[in-house]
């Protein structure tokens, strides 16, 4: 006698309001991330200009900011690939539950780190 084991999968269906909130959080975090990226580019450009006029300017600080910008680019590319579903040769996959929320949280965390770097730069530049 063949018995089939059936597994009941419980799934959580998010409400339209919850989905809208997650999308808005993601959009806000993404917009803030892009704004900070632009600001970081301005800071790096001004430091590079200062280095050409004053070679003894803080090269280590510039290197640190350039590394942060590269990290931001890597994170952004990773998130874009994650959203596209293309992962190392595998076929398209549907979005994972909570993916936008995870991305928004990651971007918020990175935004805080960027803010700390930019604030410390502004403080040093004003001194």
Does residue 8 fall inside a structural domain?
no
Tell me the residue range of the domain where 122 lies: 16-84+98-126
Point out the least confidently predicted range of 24-33, 58-67, 115-124: 115-124
Q: Reply yes or no on whether the pLDDT at 7 is more than 80.
A: no
Q: How far is CA 25 from CA 102, 104, 120, in A?
A: 10, 6, 27
pLDDT of residue 26: 84
Average pLDDT over residues 22-41: 88
- 119 versus 14: the higher-pLDDT residue is 119
pLDDT tens-digit readout, 65-88 = 899 899 888 888 887 777 776 555
Does residue 9 fall inside a structural domain?
no
Half-sphere exposure of 116 (CA within 13 A, CB side): 8
- Looking at the 3D structure of the chain, how many domains does it have? 1
* 8 Å CB contact between 89 and 12: no
Does residue 5 fall inside a structural domain?
no
Does residue 2 fall inside a structural domain?
no
Does residue 66 fall inside a structural domain?
yes
Does residue 49 fall inside a structural domain?
yes
Does residue 73 fall inside a structural domain?
yes
Does residue 1 fall inside a structural domain?
no
Average pLDDT over residues 51-72: 82
User: Mean pLDDT in the chain?
Assistant: 76
pLDDT interval class at 93 (50, 70, 90): very low
pLDDT interval class at 123 (50, 70, 90): low
- Percent of the chain at pLDDT > 70 equals 72
Residue 107: CB atoms within 10 A of its CB come to: 25
In whole angstroms, what is the distance from residue 27 CA to residue 76 CA? 13
């Amino acid at each position: 006698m063949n018995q089939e084991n059936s597994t009941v999968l419980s799934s959580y269906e998010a409400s339209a309001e919850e989905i809208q909130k997650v999308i808005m959080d993601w959009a806000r975090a993404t917009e803030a991330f892009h704004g900070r990226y632009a600001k970081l580019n301005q800071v790096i450009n001004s430091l590079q200009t200062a280095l050409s006029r004053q070679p003894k300017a803080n090269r280590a600080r510039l290197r640190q900011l350039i590394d942060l910008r590269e990290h931001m680019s890597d994170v952004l590319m990773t998130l874009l690939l994650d959203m596209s579903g293309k992962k190392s040769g595998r076929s398209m996959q549907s979005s994972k539950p909570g993916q936008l929320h995870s991305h928004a949280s990651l971007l918020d965390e990175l935004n805080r780190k960027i803010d700390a770097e930019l604030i410390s730069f502004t403080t040093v530049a004003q001194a």
